């Protein structure tokens, strides 16, 4: 019987790596679940300014986005440099906002409508004129809870 | 050992496959930390209000931004970096000074009876030609002024920052420093 006895020498047994795939799969599932694929193709350049007093948007399902900025690279040739509004996947005029707001509201439950946040993503170089027009349209559409999308920074410089 | 065992499938490469997928998702994930300055727009008035409430000049902190992104605060040219302190001084107010807002004695739970609350209002007006970046900076500094004061009061009264307080404590502080930023219709002078 001593033939089969394991040698209890100073050789340590190798650590089993059998559970490694399990660990990695766990991480994998975590990232798969948390990943949000970008839902719209941006047609405008949006480099938002930075601010320090940021509040996070918690419920992504209750956020609708408005983008304002210059048309993207290739579109610049045909559309010029004038800042434009993008709603969902297409360019829009400010007169379209009213209808778009209604559509966005209809997409949600009635109870959730007052909790919708309207996130406005505006390029830092845009002039306030167009932003004001959009704000005015939102007021008309009774979409009052807005969020000026910004990046986070430690300090504001002059 | 008579029975021949089936050779086990080598699962060693399983980890590699999983890693490959993991790295793909790691790279494509955009931890979209979507945040920004949350504001509440005033509702559209049903009809033109005739009797607007009178607001005394001393209770209004006037902030103007022109098309060249210059800042005029209470008639004085100012840099964005100075705005926060100026706004804080105004919001807190001082009973000894005539040019700062008046106080209104209010009963606030947790704060006591007749707590003096300053009647401050910040009025912000920009030009249509003002850059969005400048607008956000100004907005940010004004919100920061309120947040700083709320934190300070939270620390002296309850010994914690505003965000770490209970709902009731936060409400009490909000009553002392209500965020009153009023935006006037922009002018259009230098487009």
Measure Cα distances from B12 to A14, A19, B17, B21 in Å: 14, 10, 10, 16
The CATH number of whichever domain residue A126 belongs to comes to: 3.30.420.270
Of B41, B140, B186, the CB nearest to A146: B41
pLDDT digit string, tens, across residues A148-158: 999 888 887 77
A35 within domain boundaries: no
pLDDT digit string, tens, across residues B132-164: 999 999 999 999 999 999 999 999 988 889 989
pLDDT at B141: 92
A88 within domain boundaries: yes
CATH placement of domain B57-145: 3.30.420
What is the biggest distance separating any 2 CA atoms in chain B, rounded to whole angstroms? 104
Q: How close A61 comes to chain B (CA, Å)?
A: 12
A24 within domain boundaries: no
A38 within domain boundaries: no
pLDDT digit string, tens, across residues A105-125: 998 898 988 889 999 999 999
Q: Residue B8, CB half-sphere, CA atoms under 13 Å: how many? A: 4
* pLDDT above 60: residue A99: yes
ipTM: 0.77
* CA B187 – CA A129 distance, rounded (Å): 9
A36 within domain boundaries: no
A44 within domain boundaries: no
- Domain residue ranges of chain B, discontinuous segments joined by +: 57-145
The residue among B26, B34, B40, B185 with the most chain A CBs within 10 A of its CB, best to mutate, is B34
pLDDT digit string, tens, across residues A7-57: 556 778 888 777 877 888 888 888 888 777 666 788 888 888 988 988 888
Average pLDDT over residues B5-26: 80
Three-class SS of residue B68? coil
Average pLDDT over residues B154-180: 90
Give residue A110's domain range: 50-152
pLDDT digit string, tens, across residues B101-119: 888 888 888 888 888 888 8
- How many domains in chain A? 1
A158 within domain boundaries: no
Of A53-57, A126-130, B30-34, B103-107, the least confident: B30-34
A142 within domain boundaries: yes
* pLDDT above 80: residue B123: yes
Instruction: Please report the residues numbered 100 through 139 in chain A whose beta carbons come closer than 8 angstroms to any beta carbon of chain B.
Output: 117, 119, 122-129, 131-132, 135, 138-139
């Amino acid at each position: 019987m001593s033939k089969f006895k394991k040698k209890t020498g100073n050789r340590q047994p190798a650590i089993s790596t059998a559970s490694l795939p399990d660990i990695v799969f766990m991480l994998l599932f975590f990232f798969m679940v948390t990943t949000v694929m970008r839902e719209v193709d941006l047609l405008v350049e949006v480099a938002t300014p930075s601010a320090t007093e940021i509040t996070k948007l918690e419920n992504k399902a209750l956020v609708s986005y408005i983008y304002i900025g210059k048309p993207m690279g290739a579109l610049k040739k045909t559309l010029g440099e004038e800042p434009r509004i993008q709603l969902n996947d297409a360019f829009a005029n400010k007169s379209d906002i009213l209808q778009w707001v209604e559509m966005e509201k209809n997409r949600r439950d009635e109870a959730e409508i007052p909790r919708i946040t309207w996130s406005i993503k505006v390029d830092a170089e845009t002039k306030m004129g167009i932003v004001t027009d959009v704000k005015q349209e939102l007021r008309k559409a009774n979409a009052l809870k807005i969020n000026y999308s910004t990046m986070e920074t430690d300090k504001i410089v002059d | 050992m008579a029975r021949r065992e089936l050779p086990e499938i080598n699962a060693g490469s399983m980890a590699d496959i999983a890693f490959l997928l993991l790295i793909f998702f790691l790279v494509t994930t955009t931890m979209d930390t979507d945040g920004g300055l949350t504001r509440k727009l005033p509702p559209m008035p049903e009809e033109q209000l005739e009797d607007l409430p009178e607001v005394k000049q001393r209770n209004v902190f006037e902030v103007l931004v022109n098309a060249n992104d210059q800042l005029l605060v209470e008639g004085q040219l100012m840099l964005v970096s100075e705005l926060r302190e100026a706004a804080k001084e105004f919001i807190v107010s001082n009973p000894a000074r005539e040019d700062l807002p008046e106080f209104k004695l209010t009963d606030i739970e947790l704060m006591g009876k007749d707590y003096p609350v300053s009647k401050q209002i910040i009025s912000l007006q920009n030009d249509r030609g003002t850059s969005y970046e400048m607008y956000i900076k100004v907005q940010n500094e004004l919100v920061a002024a309120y947040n700083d004061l709320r934190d300070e009061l939270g620390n002296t009264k309850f010994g914690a920052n505003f965000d770490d307080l209970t709902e009731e404590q936060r409400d009490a502080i909000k009553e002392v420093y209500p965020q009153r930023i009023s935006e006037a219709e922009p002018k259009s002078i230098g487009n």
